[in-house]
Structure 1
């Protein structure tokens, strides 16, 4: 199989996790007893754990290795500031699109990094694809529940939109593979920028939303999400 075909399939699989998560959320809306409150919060926290593992195991190590200290720090700070401003803007609009924007804000740079990693022969591409699947599934779940509760869109329209968004993955991955891989410093800056944004979103939206009074399931979900990322990283390292 040609490398670019493999990359496109991986990124499409990662993107398809969004409508898959949305479909699970739709089933939960129709049959609320299917998951129950504890498992619903477990899924939310699992997504947070997977996001943090992507940051800690792939994006920050790879991004920091491509830049010196000052540019790396500035790119990371800029990512945090931009995501804060975006969150404040969406809050002012009182828009139900916040989860959706958040989902794409980390999916697009990660897909670009996926394509670039394969272009330069780095071993992190497969791990990043795995982490994207793990985080997009609960993010799709969260975004569907927010959109279905706060917008006038039907469930079928939301699922169709999520399915179309999955195509953003291959487009972004091809951009990273063909256009951006040769610009190492730019790729490092993008990874660090996205890392700060992901961390902001985790602690602003996911962590508070996953908390349940006197229940340990959400915290366990975060640990499980990070654990799967760690296992994938160690397998690729040959540990």
Structure 2
């Protein structure tokens, strides 16, 4: 039997799947990277794939002039939701999932950048991906890098995580589709280039790019363990829910 196939949508150079890519591959998944920023066409349907991973980017979900492929990604996400296909939208990926399914995204009143605490909500304790976070003695931390956020989640979305500055940090649609506002896939080396390109916006928030990266670097071992576990659980969902091969 062939390996489960996952379509990975990358919106911008330097925003790849990072440690998630390594961990998912190690779990036996076959990743197919789609880079519309480099000319790759975005499929309108997830035919032939057992999972969908939609990554982040510096554009917003409504920035079609800058990223004209975004409406097609929204169509792809709607098709994934309709099939309850194992899906994970990260940061921009969550914002696109929100818009695709009838919710709303707005400019964040309090942008989050760097390492931030998350608070599991009650439904997280029964969620396949987030139940272990609800059992921690201390609040989990994750890397944030967003100036926009979900203001109105899609109808029926189950809230899973929140934070002091952003109400909707994670939700689930159906049984197999998740969106997260934070970046579980990145470590200090991944965001170093983000800090270089976003010097002005970070300074406007009173943040020093080097200090942000240094803070993440000091917590890297914990981040690898915490969010590497999430990657492993998502890989297990993709593998468990792939269709059975036809009988001869």
Q: Which has the higher strand share?
A: 2
Higher RCO, Cα 8 Å, sep 6+: 1
Common fold by TM > 0.5: no
**TM-score computed with the length of structure 1 as normaliser:** 0.29
Q: Which has the higher helix share?
A: 1
